[in-house]
Structure 1
Amino acid sequence: MLLAKVWRGVSGLAAATIAKSVGQELTKRIYMHMGLQKTGTSSIQVMLASSGKALEDFGYFFPNLPVPQTERSSVWTSPFRHNCLAATYADFHSTFQPLTAPEHTVLMGAMRSSKYDPILSAEEFSRQLDFSRIARGLAGFELVVLIYLRRQDRYMESLYNQRNKILVSRCDTSFLGDSILTIDDMRQFIQVSGYDKIMNFHSLLKRIENDLKPISIYVRDFNRLSLRGGDVCDDFCSLINVDIDQMSRPRTEANQSIGNHVIASINDTFMSSGREAAKEMMSEINLRMSQGEDFSGDYKILSDGDRQSLLDEYANQNDELKRDFGVSFY
């Protein structure tokens, strides 16, 4: 199989396309947005889910999951529903409900018979270890992969913050204690959760390339200085040649952070007054967040020295990333 590498700019910004000659034209193309987590994926999914008519005008659709035969969580019909499809192929622990075999067959048939090209979007796709499982599940389709990367130090801090936010939303105090908001705790979370296997981005992209064999891979740096218009939704639409002005943008960031000062305050309550007091405080914060109060803020963990040391760990891999996929981080 011939592999041709073509570097091209998107409005003067770096983007990479890897084009492959596949020998024969397949009948249907899938645009597969693979995340990563904490790279504006939720905002993109909200935009896609609320812009059905605009997408059709440009030849795309954002597939619904089949009507379930059994009770499903609210995710099934939400903008984040394709994570359930990713969970169907997952070779890691996913918290999303997978499709049954009949449901998977119905979804594949709907995508294949549509006159529009489907766009799938799920952070869980990028967590896959063996991408050939996804390739088998999507056999018969021509794949175009779109993926956003986030510099490793920022990615770790953002993932850790997201973990803390989720546990606060569940009023789960298991993460609280002396080690919270420390580098050691963050690194342990990254390792236990398997994200360390993603953070060598060059290796990740090579696995995607070798296992999925997409006809194109679009790789973008999730940084306002790199994104078209400084916005991930604008940038994504430019990749698929859709007019952003015809799309329905999210009114606010779809997955906001929670500041370290909030976590520290909860932990102080936990340490001084106990588990139930901390749970009560979490419940109050969750209520106020649901009413629109902003609890975001700084969530940095790394000092300048620690940050540079971490980046040094990934220097060689990031050099390979720039060489082979045309992406360098700000």
Structure 2
Amino acid sequence: MARIWLHIGHGKTGTSSIQWAMADRSRLRRDVIYPVRGRGDQMAHHGLFPLKEAAYGPEIIQVLRQLSQRLASVNIPVLLSSEHLCHASERKVTQIARAFAGHELRVVYYIRRQDDLLESSFRQRQSAQPGAFPDPNLFLERFSKGFDFESRLQPWRAVFGDEAITVRLYHPEVVGSDVVGDIERLLGLPDWPDRAPAQRNPSLTAAGTRKVMHTAAEVGRERARLVAQRLCGVAVEGDNSPFYDAAARKLIMGRYQSSNERVARRHLDERSASLLLGRIDSQVSEAGRSSAW
């Protein structure tokens, strides 16, 4: 039976880079299996793990069982990746466990300080849906539960137990400059020095995001989407101050302090825990960066 890694997210932690790189590696190196079935244009396995409904329907269960059977004689790592999985209910996680019964299932979850993650996620939302939730504070209130890592992990802990779960902090002092290399090492894959650059989902800068939001308000969302496509990954002149200032970031981390402490105790090494729980001052500069971080 195969060792199957379930990469469950979190979004804005290099997930697109991992998915594209694993698709390339599966095709060109063939030392990992990144199944074609269930992949969309962005290479995530969203088709295998739909987000809607509290449980998977019979057709999805059948597809998962068919995939499980095809992996019966595999002796190299298998990776299934979808950000949808970190929002899966316990019922869905149980269905996954049953569909892949007999295989060794492992879970990997990349997390990122919520102050930095919310900044990046807010910009991403404006890129994907210009003008939606234009107030950063309303965005936080609407989606705050989704950034509670303890809640995201709870169904996986209930079904698989802590020993099957690996949590990695998406931070340059932990995963280096390339999150793809980090997950390759986790899967036990050899170095691939000449693989294509990892970054696949460049972010808008703060100034670029403000231009997209202004365009959406003035001339409409369709035009704003074109502006977002043009400006992603581009250094844009203008107001590049973060949408969440130092005071807001401190409040954000205070909101998640207790649950972050429990996640850190269960899943992180001492260095990663200190970076997740550390002082806000060292993190403020992260919000203005336009790189993959």
TM-score > 0.5 by shorter chain? yes
Higher strand share: 1
| Aligned counterpart for 1:133 among listed residues 77, 81, 95 | 95
Give 2:282's aligned residue. none
1:111 corresponding residue in structure 2? 71
Alpha carbons 1:28, 1:112 under 8 Å: kept: yes
2:36 to 64, 79, 89: 64
Q: Which residue matches 2:291? A: none
TM (normalized to structure 1)?
0.69
* SS of 1:37 mapped into structure 2: coil
Match of 2:285 in 1: none
Match in the other structure for 1:19: none
Identity of aligned residues (%): 22
SS of alignment partner, residue 192 of structure 2: helix
Letter in 1 for 2:199: E
Q: Which runs of 5+ in 2 are unaligned?
A: 279-293
Question: CA–CA distance in 1 between the matches of 2:193 and 2:215?
Answer: 47
Contact in 1 for aligned 2:20/2:200 (Cα 8 Å): yes
Match of 2:126 among 144, 147, 164: 164
* 1:47 Cα deviation from its structure 2 partner: 0.6
Deviation at 1:241, TM superposition (A): 1.6
Q: Say which of 35, 41, 46 aligns to 2:9.
A: 35
Q: Which residue of 2 aligns with 1:199?
A: 147
Q: What's 2:210 paired with?
A: 264
Q: 1:146 aligns with which of 86, 89, 108?
A: 108
Runs of 5+ unmatched residues, structure 1? 1-26, 67-74
- Secondary structure of the structure 2 residue equivalent to 1:116: coil
Number of aligned residue pairs: 268
Q: Given residue 294 of structure 1, which amino acid in structure 2 is its aligned partner?
A: V
How high is the TM-score relative to the length of structure 2?
Answer: 0.77
Divergent runs of 4+, >4 A: 97-102, 295-299
In the TM superposition, 1:135-284 aligns within 5 A as: 135-168=97-130, 173=131, 175=132, 180=134, 182-191=135-144, 196=145, 198-213=146-161, 216-227=164-175, 229-245=176-192, 248-249=195-196, 251=197, 253-271=199-217, 273=218, 277-279=219-221, 281-282=223-224, 284=226
> CA RMSD of the aligned region, Å?
3.3
Give the distance between the partners of 1:259 and 1:242, measured in 2 at CA: 33
Give the match's secondary structure for 1:31.
strand
**CA deviations over 1:255-313 (Å, ceiling 9, x no partner):** 11123323333443455x4xxx2346425425645xx8726795732111111122122
